[in-house]
Each structure stands twice: as C-alpha cells, then as structure tokens.
Amino acid sequence: MTTDQQTRATVWPDQIYEVLKDAGVTQVAYVPDAGHAKLINRCHADKAMHAVSLTTEEEGVAMLAGAWMGGAKGVLLMQSSGVGNCINMLSIYEECRLPLLMIVTMRGVWGEFNPWQVAMGGSTAAALENAGVIVHSVDRAEDVKETVHACTALAFNTQRPVAVLIQQRVIGFKNWSK
C-alpha cells in the first residue's frame, strides 16, 4: 500500500462522522461491529449525539422512527448479519414514509474466514430491497464519504429508508491469528 492508500483506508470512519455531523444527526443507534468501532467511539465522544447500544438491530429501527416523529435525525449502524433482524420493523418506514439512514458493514462476501457469515452477507442487499430500502454499495474507501453524503441527503430529503453497504474490501481482512 502507498501512503495515500493507507490514509484512505483509515480515514473513512472519520469522514462518515463528519457527514453525519454536518447533516445534524443526533441519534446513533448501533449493534457493535469491528468495522464501525472507530465511528462508534467518535459518536460516543460527541456530547451532542446520543449513541445508543442496542440488544438487537430492530430496536434501532423502531427507535429512529420515534426520533423522526420527534424532529430528530438518526443513523443505524450494524454489520450485515443484523439486517435480517430488522425486516418486519422496516414496515413502519414503508407505511409512515419515514427517513432512515442505515450504514451496514459487510461480512461474508470478500476475504471472509467465518463460513457462518456467508448466508446473510449474500442476501443483505436483496433482503433490504425487498423490505423497501434503497441500497447503495461502496467497495472503495475513497468513495465512502461521497456515498454516505448522497444517501444521507436522499434519506432525509425524500423521507425514505436508505442503506449504505460498506463492502468488506473497504474494511480489510479480519485478523484471526490473534
């Protein structure tokens, strides 16, 4: 990797944080994922944001519906395995036409070690689309900022659920040797 590539590989979580901040996001609901660790830490450090750890991802879907009803913008962070936990709760967004910004770090699709991640990773995009969510995927670190920015605008300006899938190629290999 060149220095430029290394920089791009590590700054995208900070760039997402800046995009969320600029958009006025104040509620960050998440189930932890290693790919989101840096972003989660930044959101917790921000006194103007409520970073809420969930027991399951569907809690965040319901929570952010309440947030929008109350005039607040939120984001839901999870890994691809969590998408399957959200499906029925997403029906609130279809029926009430609410905005939702989901940022999903992918597993099970590129350089994966754990075979148990493959099933949900392979059906993440289709499951979201079937539930009425607009899906955009990013597989290069240098595209993360622009895509998250565009999807944030799309979600909140048009009041629709939108998911950004951060592909595993952006996140890098998980080290299983330590």
Partner 1 sequence: MAAKKPSGLDRRKVVAALLADRGDALVVTGLGSPTYDTFAAGDHDLNFYLWGGMGGAAMAGLGLALAQPKRRVLVITGDGEMLMGLGALATIACEAPKNLAIAVIDNGHYGETGMQRAHTARGVDLAGIAKASGFKSAATLQSMASLQSWLPEWNKKAGPVFADIKVSAEPAPMRLPLRDGTAIKYRFRTALLGADAQK
Nearest distance in Å: CB 107, partner 1: 22
Q: Which residues pair with 164 in a beta bridge?
A: 103, 136
Pick 34 or 96: Cβ nearer partner 1: 96
Report in angstroms how near the CB of residue 61 gets to partner 1 at its nearest: 7
Q: What three-state secondary structure class fits 176?
A: coil
Record the tokens describing residue 54, joined without a space: 């969930």
CA distance 16 to 129: 23
* Closest to partner 1 by CB, 98 or 104: 98
The one segment of 40-48, 96-104, 133-141, 143-151 that binds partner 1 by CB under 8 A: 96-104
For residues 11 and 92, which CB has a smaller minimum distance to partner 1 in the complex? Answer: 92
Q: How far is the CB of 25 from partner 1 (least distance, A)?
A: 12
Q: Tell the smallest beta-carbon distance from residue 26 to partner 1 (Å).
A: 8
32: three-class secondary structure by DSSP: coil
Q: Is 99 in the site for partner 1 (CB under 8 A)?
A: no
Convert 30-58 to b/e letters by CB count within 10 Å (16 or more is b). bbebebbebbbebbeebeebbbbebeebb
Rg (CA), the chain: 15
Query: In the chain, which ranges are E strands?
Result: 25-30, 50-53, 73-79, 100-105, 134-138, 161-166
Q: Which of residues 43-82 bind partner 1 (CB under 8 A)?
A: 50, 52-56, 58-72, 74
Range in contact with partner 1 (rule: CB under 8 A) among 21-29, 109-117, 133-141, 165-173: 21-29
Total length of the chain: 178
Distance in Å, CB of 97 to partner 1, minimum = 5
Residues that bind partner 1 (CB under 8 A): 26-27, 29, 50, 52-56, 58-72, 74, 88-89, 91-92, 95-98
